[in-house]
Amino acid sequence: VMAVPFLGVDFEFRRQGLGKQLMDVAREVAQQAKVKLLCLTIAEHNQAAQAFYSQYGFKEQQLVARGDSTRHVLYTMKPGSGDSSKAQGQ
């Protein structure tokens, strides 16, 4: 299992494909390491991030505690699944 603890792009640089590039690198590293499952958590209210990661094949699993008051949702995917070509301009 490989966790993606934080992947973000500063507001000034969003919508230029940088998030897609970062996610592509994470998937490539996972595939080379023969990781069977990628996981990450997303704040429950962050619909933009949920949509972005869903384009890669991440699936919602369950609510998880992260130590703060924000509710987070665990998402997982198999590194060879998903279609990064759908995640344009993220």
DSSP 50-65: HHHHHTTT-EEEEEE-
Q: How confident is the model at residue 66 (pLDDT cuts 50, 70, 90)?
A: confident
Per-residue pLDDT, averaged over 69-86, amounts to: 75
d(CA 19, CA 49): 10
| pLDDT (0 to 100) of residue 18 | 94
Residue ranges and CATH numbers for the domains of the chain are: 2-84 (3.40.630.30)
- How confident is the model at residue 90, as a pLDDT? 44
In this structure, the chain runs to a length of 90
Identity at 82, one-letter amino acid code: G
The span from the CA of 53 to the CA of 84, in Å, is: 10
